[in-house]
Amino acid sequence: MDYAATLLSKLPGASRRSHGLSHLLETLESYLPKDQIETIVQAYEFGAAAHDGQTRMTGEPYITHPIAVAQELAEMHLDAQAIAAAILHDVVEDTDASLSQIEEKFGEETSALVDGVSKLDQIQFRSRAEAQAESFRKMMLAMIEDIRVILVKLADRLHNMQTLSAMPPEKIRRIARETLDIYAPIANRLGINRFKVELEDLGFRHLYPMRYRVLEKALKRSKGSQRQIVKRILEEFAAALKDDGIEAEIVGREKHLYSIYKKMAEKKRLLSDVVDVYGFRIIVDDVNSCYQALGIVHGLYKPMPGRFKDYVAIPRINGYQSLHTTLFGPKGLPLEVQIRTRTMDRVAESGVASHWQYKADDKVDATPQRRAREWLSGLAELQEAGSSEEFLESVKVDLFPDKIYVFTPKGEIMPLPKGSTTVDFAYAVHTDIGNRTVAAKVDRGLVPLRTPLANGETVEVITSRGAKPNPNWLTFVRTAKARTAIRQYMKNLRSSESIDLGKRLLDRSLKDLDSSLRKIGKVRMNAALEEVGLNDTSELFEQVGLGERLAPLTARFLLGVSDSNDDETAHASLTIAGTEGMVVSYAKCCYPIPGDDVMGYLSSGRGVVIHRNGCGNLSNFRKQPEKWIAVTWEKDVDREFFSQITIDTLNKPGVLAEVAATIGDCGSNIEQVEVLGRHEDCSMLSFLLQVRDRKHLAEIMRNVRKMPNVIRVSRDST
């Protein structure tokens, strides 16, 4: 204490008004070495200067708040970085001081903690459905990389709750509700009982002031009348334990109001049933003494059958250990007794925080993540008896999440796998939204669709009625839902294109036979469909379009004409506009372009593949004439096609660049260049170009041919 006083006296005048600092220093002095306390004092000076002039709603100087937060954590004996971060936790958000200043003065670890707390502050709880609160808790836990961040945040919330009365009523209700929905359950999940109990009681008090007051009064009354009995029993216990040589600390247990309220609400119990129960806690040195003490109290008062629980041998799933028993006390009043060791008591109060308690022989190499893992594996060991792993799983998932949580523009929380992009988000909202996505905004700024999302971001998808999914999305989406939906869309698209093409092919073949689909009529069509085992005409058209069923044969079948008729091939030809989509493709052996004489090959499952008439592959024509169809180009085909040309050039420096420039000047893109051969003074280059039609290609070839270093230009044909 002397040391604290000395430090205080050394502080400059302005900050000497201690604002709780002296109490904090006393607490720190009980467990931290002097050099670390000195750093914390520096953090105080920095924080006090930064917050200078700011006040709390209570009228007190702002710095009282961070000091109170640090005090909470100091009482749990947290390490110096956590205490410094607690003192500085509002500095970045609320003052001119920057994170880099903190890093410079207090090191990376402390600044990372302050940063973590500031980031948590930025996400706002917006709506209150039960499931939403659960997601929000998970999102908070998913956002933290260091458990100490949540410890600072919980202590921060605790002090804000303690000083909540200064706020306007509307705000009080919102914050109290948020505390009960979000913060108390997080404290509970992390096993920090002391935070949980106080957060719940304060939340209860501010959300339901009337109910709180009624309960509080009733409890006070019963406590008054109980005082004598409690005192007597405490003395009896103490004497009996002492007689058997067991060192023990015995306390009468305070009931916590919110748990009484919940018991009454959930189990529909009367106030007197819940309140008139006497609670005692016996804290001993070791595990053996726990069982000895149990024997002793069972000797004093008869235990209630079925109420004994051995959480020492089989701990609760959040690591809680204790013996529980209920006795028939004087006048038959129930006495609830908990017996545990000092260590168990500390774990019961601080949970995960006990792993960050400062120890003098602490090895500093443990990363925050590793410590959290240690805590978890510690829990796992306690669970070896095979009791429920549910808690463990849920904590593990939250602390090492494979999920991220983002907001919709309406403030709903959407969980997504880590690495998910805006497109995954769009499909998670609705398949139709995904299919019509054209752009996305993250936190109100436009981003590329492939942008991976991060925790707490607000994502908005911009759709357009005519938009379609891009097959390219398949290269970056993470979720099965998006992947399946995109694939399904492509498949449907292909299917509708095949139906369209099949119908045209069949109608054309029917016309060759002086008939048409219309002339066939429903009756004949249905009979034919039944005969081949198909459900409807679209299935038939699709099969024809995909080349699985040949149009001329199908036409004859529909007309009931025998197959052995003269094999006069079709005369009417199929016109190609280049807009048929995936069921019409252009052969890569001969690269046909509009203006070329072409034939179509019905490739099973792939639709029609267009070849140039001169293509070597046309020799198949004679073998399978029924698979080839006559094709002509639509008059105005408005798209680009690939075409391949070979250019022989002199081996002059820069000649390739010159050729490329000439081609570019003609308005063509070069897709690919390949050096086919290189001799002493000439090279043979192959270009894959994008052209509109034969005229366009001819113009390119003419211009290239005119170049001084070009010897020969020719269009490839196989």
Residues at the site binding Mn ion, with contacts judged by CB under 5 A: 90, 156
Question: Least distance from C-beta 162 to Mn ion, angstroms?
Answer: 12
Question: Least distance from C-beta 152 to Mn ion, angstroms?
Answer: 9
| Residue closer to Mn ion (CB basis): 91 or 274 | 91
For residues 483 and 487, what is the distance between their CA atoms, to the nearest angstrom?
A: 6
Per the annotation, the verdict on 93 as an active-site residue is yes
For residues 362 and 167, what is the distance between their CA atoms, to the nearest angstrom?
A: 42
Question: Least distance from C-beta 69 to Mn ion, angstroms?
Answer: 6
Question: Least distance from C-beta 120 to Mn ion, angstroms?
Answer: 11
- The token duo for 367 is 């990363």
Question: Least distance from C-beta 89 to Mn ion, angstroms?
Answer: 6
The catalytically annotated residue of 93, 247, 393, 432 is: 93
Residue type, 348: A
For 648, 652, 658, 703, the CA distances from 682, given in Å and listed in that order, are 7, 8, 15, 19
| Residue closer to Mn ion (CB basis): 56 or 715 | 56
| Residue closer to Mn ion (CB basis): 62 or 261 | 62
Q: Which residue has the tokens 């306690």?
A: 382
How many other CB atoms are there within 10 angstroms of residue 153's CB atom? 21
The catalytically annotated residue of 94, 539, 548, 648 is: 94
For residues 593 and 651, what is the distance between their CA atoms, to the nearest angstrom?
A: 31
For residues 101 and 111, what is the distance between their CA atoms, to the nearest angstrom?
A: 9
Count of all residues that appear for the chain in the document: 718
Helix (H, G, I), strand (E, B) or coil at 709: coil
Sign of the alpha-carbon torsion through 513, 519, 524, 526: positive
| Residue closer to Mn ion (CB basis): 117 or 399 | 117
| Residue closer to Mn ion (CB basis): 72 or 345 | 72
| Residue closer to Mn ion (CB basis): 116 or 545 | 116
How many other CB atoms are there within 10 angstroms of residue 472's CB atom? 10
Closest residue (Cβ) to Mn ion? 156
Question: Least distance from C-beta 94 to Mn ion, angstroms?
Answer: 8
| Residue closer to Mn ion (CB basis): 79 or 90 | 90
* Contact (CB, 8 A) for 484 and 528: no
* Contact (CB, 8 A) for 663 and 669: no
For residues 609-637, b (16+ Cβ closer than 10 Å) or e, as one string?
Answer: bbbbeebeebeebeeeeebbbebebeeeb
Burial label, 96 (beta-carbon count in 10 A; 0-12, 13-18, 19+):
exposed
Question: Least distance from C-beta 95 to Mn ion, angstroms?
Answer: 12
For residues 220 and 83, what is the distance between their CA atoms, to the nearest angstrom?
A: 36
Per the annotation, the verdict on 94 as an active-site residue is yes
| Residue closer to Mn ion (CB basis): 90 or 398 | 90
Question: Least distance from C-beta 114 to Mn ion, angstroms?
Answer: 11
For residues 395 and 144, what is the distance between their CA atoms, to the nearest angstrom?
A: 13
8-state DSSP, 421: B
- Residues with catalytic roles: 93-94
